[in-house]
Each structure stands twice: as C-alpha cells, then as structure tokens.
Structure 1
Amino acid sequence: MDGFYGKPFGIKKPERREYNEVLELSLVEALYLVEKGKLSVLNSEGKEMSFDELLNEAYNRIKSFKSLYIIYRDLREKGYVVRSGLKFGSDYSLYRHGPGIEHAPYLIHVYEGDEIIDPIELVRMGRLSHSVKKKFMLGIVRNGIPNYILFKWYKP
C-alpha cells in the first residue's frame, strides 16, 4: 500500500516524501485507511469508529460522499495516487506515480449515475483541464459500480 496520503500539517509545499510530522487527512483518505485496517478514527467520546459508522458520518456531512468514496477506492485499488482536485475545480487529481514525482495527468469529476450533466459544464471542465495541461474524466457511479469516461480534445 503506497503512500501519498494526507499532507503534512502546516506545510504548504512539502519538499520530501517521508515525514514524521502530523498528517492532515481528508475524510475520504481516512475512510480508505480505516477500511484497509491502517488507521483508527475515534469519535468525540474517544470510542473507535467502525468503517460503517465513519461512512455514515461522512455521508451525513457530504451528500455525494458514497460516490466520491467509490471512485477514490477504485482508483487507489488500481494503483493510482488520488489527491484533491479542488485547486483545479475538480473532485480529484490523479497521478500514476505521485505528487512531486510528476504532474497529475488527469482531473476527475464524480457524478452519480442518475445525475444530469449540463453540456456547458462539460465544456467548462474541458477548457479548464486543457488550460492546465491535463485530461479530464468523469467518474460515474451507477448502482455502486464505478465507470469512467475520458474526454480528449478533437480537432477535425
């Protein structure tokens, strides 16, 4: 199980790969590490939370969390490093090897299978990803199963 989880607390742009400092994890990263038995999360009373308890807590806070988690877990299981894509206006940025080793070649936008996607949003996502030299993908979850659509610019 490779690293690249979280970010060193209080360090904007880390320069090395291994740390002894405190890491700040996203909710999706924490849930994944709990599922893999690599992390324990305590509730406000100090009791360890199960995977399902943490998932329900996350879902209560973020409506689309289950789809976000399904895509995150699927891509991690396929060997990719999945990081927040917030600074690029997407849900995730996706690396083959990891941040600091390469630039993320992909941006991922997560949708649930029954969501309607405005075509203008597709154009916006495509233009933004192209301007930062990344390809963009939709991660679509239908009935708990992740599917992907990769978009490329086409010049006739």
Structure 2
Amino acid sequence: MKARIEEDKVLLGSEGYALYEQSGFGRPQKDGLRLSPVEALYLVYRGRIEIPGYDFDTLLVRFSDNAHMIRSFLVYRDIRERGYVVQTGPHDFRVFKRGEKPGKGESQYMVRVLSERDLIDFSVVQGEVRTTLNMRKQHVLAVVDDEFEITYYEVKLQKLPGLEVTPDPKPAPGLLSSISVIINAGADLGYDQAFYGKRLDDSRIVLSTVEAAYLIEQGLVTIQLGEATLTAEEYCARIQDSDPELDKKITVYRYLRELQYIPKTGYKFGHHFRVYSGRKIHSEMLVQAIGPLETLPMNSISRSVRMAHSVKKKMLFAGIHDEGIVFTEFARIKL
C-alpha cells in the first residue's frame, strides 16, 4: 500500500480505509486516509505501507524537526504492541481500551510523552489532568529515559478530605535556644496527643521549626523576649536563613493541620513531610511543597515516586497557587 507526503502529513488513497477499519490507524477523509507522522513511521517500520523515496530511517530524519519524534515513536510502538489502538491527540496520544477502537469503543488513557530531563510545570500538568478528568479518562505520562526505556506514570489530582476534628493543645510557654523552641508542657496539655514535637522529658518538648512557627502563629506557644512577646513573623525572620524553603513548608503544614492531618518531617525519606491520617501508626503520604512557578525535572519526580513506592506511601506534590493548594499524585503503572 503506497502513501505520499504532503507537508507534515502522510496520505493514503481510499485503500487506506481498511487500516482505519481494522486497526484504528489514521483519520478518514473524503478521498482516503490521513496519517500522523508517528503513525506513518510505525506502518513503514512494520512494512505495511510504502512511501516512494523513503525508508524508515529517511522518514525519521524527514520528521526530525520534532525533537520528540523518536520518543513519540517508541511510546507509540510500545503501546501498539501491548495490544492497544492508539490515536494522536488531544495531548500526545489517546489510547483505547483493549479490543476497542474509534467508532466502536472508547478511549481509556490520555498520554503525554516526556523525556527524563523535561521540567515539570505543575500548573501545566494540573491543567492537563483536569482536561483528562473532564473526559473521564486516566492521565498518563510516558517518560523515555536516556537509554530509551519507557516508564508510565498515572497522574491524579487529590482532594484531601478533612478528618475528625481533634482538640487543640492548651497554651504553653516556650524558650528560644538559637532557632530551636522548647516548650514546658506536661502530658495534661495535649501536645503528645496532637503529635507535636519530641519529648525531652516529662516536662519539656522540643519543636521542629515549622511546628514552632505554626504554634506561635496559632497563639498556642508564647515566647517572652524581655518585655516583648515573640511573634510568628519575628520567629520566621530569625530562622529564614537556616531554611530557605521555610515559607512554602509552613504554608503546606498549616493547610494539612487545618484538615486535621499530622505532618512530621520527611527528612528520612528525602521529602518535606511524612503525613499521618489521624492516629495511625504509619504515615500514608510523602508530601513535597512546591512553590508558585516552581518546576522539577522529571528524573527528580521519578526518584520521589520510587522512594514512596518502596515504603508503601502515596507521593504527593503540594503546589501552592493563588487559589490555594493543589495536591498532585504521581504513581507508576503498567499498561
């Protein structure tokens, strides 16, 4: 079956309709079938069509203005050979349920192709996920590494439900040691029950800087400096140089506490927080705070997902936006 190239499109005559009817290739037109470049590459690669003057190698070069072409071809081939029908758009690919095809079924996945070094703009990803959800599909990233291996990630937006309200601890006096805050709090004040800080002895608890900032802000911890009471803003100014990520961490910490979750440091897991739902023994989520306009390379996200998976937790990125905080979950999947 012979095809021809017109600009960035590959066209087949009316005999091409069979490729669409049988296997969902291309888009039918009045006088034949229009193939996308990646579909044409695959069909030439498999020897199902011929394009005069081109073999697979020269056709790949012909379409190499698209820097993603080799990655797109590899992902397209992989998904096709897993038994799915694939069409281009509205992201990179639309993947139908196994055994289904255009006109005779519905798509299941919307797939975006990335390299391991692509920067992830969370506002862009969140917008694409919302579009996918509005179409009632699953949003998938197909990430091609530098050795051209493919890893698939499902991306979801998570709305954390509020938990049962628990009483706040009672106010406690504190003292400032450099940037550390130690409070005088016996067991009756409720700090142990609310999982704040680490107990030094029966009467003292040392707080993390984020916990201290939050509790001072809430008026639950007071620190006297001479005749003045230290404000949350003054405390944050003191510790800012030691923690340049403080502002975004406090923003996410405050949000989680208001929903009655228990965030504790996630240092051992390489992230900002490990998060408990109520009084459960093990944390269920790792959370990384992402500031406005902040991006992360995909290989960094991959490391985060692998770590979370290894300790049986969800990996959430808490994006801070003008309209609030949006939690984005990345998880490896097998198609």
Indicate the TM-score class for this superposition, using the shorter chain for normalisation. Answer: 0.7 to 0.9
Partner of 2:40: 30
Q: Which residue number corresponds to residue 93 of structure 2?
A: 92
What amino acid maps onto 2:95 in structure 1? Answer: L
**By how many angstroms is 1:155 displaced?**
4.1
CA distance in 1, matches of 2:103, 2:68: 29
| CA gap 1:138/1:65 in 2 versus in 1, 3 angstroms | same
Separation (CA, whole Å) in 2 of partners of 1:154 and 1:115: 23
For residue 28 of structure 1, what is the amino acid of its counterpart? V
Is 1:8 the equivalent of 2:28? yes
In the TM superposition, residue 113 of structure 1 has moved relative to its aligned partner by 1.2
The answer to which of 1-10 and 126-135 deviates more is 1-10
Tell me what 2:86 maps to: 82
What is the alpha-carbon distance in structure 1 between the residues aligned to residue 33 and residue 133 of structure 2? 31
Answer 1 or 2: higher relative contact order, Cα 8 Å, separation at least 6: 1
What is the identity, as a one-letter code, of the residue corresponding to 1:23?
Answer: L
Q: Over residues 61-80 of structure 1, what are the superposed CA-to-partner deviations in whole Å (9 max), with x where a residue is unaligned? A: 21211111111110001011
Which AA in structure 2 matches 1:117? I
Q: Deviations over 1:64-106 (max 9, x none)?
A: 11111111110001011110123xxx11111021111222111
Report if the CA contact (8 A) 2:85-2:101 is conserved.
yes
Deviation, structure 1 residue 23: 1.0
The match for 1:57 is 62
Question: What RMSD in Å do the two structures reach over aligned CA positions?
Answer: 1.6
**3-state SS of 2:63 partner:** helix
Is 2:112 aligned against 1:117?
A: no
Q: Which runs of 5+ in 2 are unaligned?
A: 1-18, 161-335
- Please say which structure displays the higher CA radius of gyration: 2
Question: Contact 2:126 / 2:157 at 8 angstroms: preserved in 1?
Answer: no
* AA of the residue aligned to 1:4: G
What amino acid sits opposite 1:124 in the alignment? Answer: G
- Does residue 1:148 correspond to 2:161, yes or no? no
Report the alpha carbon displacement of residue 111 of structure 1 after superposing the two structures with TM.
Answer: 0.6
Q: Report if aligned partners of 2:25, 2:35 keep a CA contact under 8 Å in 1.
A: yes
Give the fraction of aligned pairs with identical amino acids, expressed as a percent: 30
The question of 1:72 aligning with 2:82 is answered: no
Q: Cα offset for 1:151?
A: 2.1
> Aligned residues, how many?
137
Of Structure 1 and Structure 2, which has the larger fraction of its residues in strand?
A: 2
In 1, Cα distance between the equivalents of 2:154 and 2:59? 31
Name segments (4+ residues, structure 1) moved above 3 Å.
152-156
Q: CA deviation at 1:107?
A: 0.4
> In 2, Cα distance between the equivalents of 1:57 and 1:84?
19
| Deviation readout 1:25-48 (Å, 9 max, x if unpaired) | 111111101010111112xxxx3x
Given the two structures, how large is their TM-score scaled by the length of structure 1? 0.81
Unaligned runs of at least 5 residues, structure 1? 11-20
Q: Distance in 2 between matches of 1:127 and 1:37?
A: 38
Partner of 2:71: helix, strand, or coil? helix
Deviation of residue 153 (structure 1)?
A: 4.3
Q: Deviations over 1:90-144 (max 9, x none)?
A: 1111102111122211100111111111111221111111111111000111121
Amino acid at match of 1:76: R
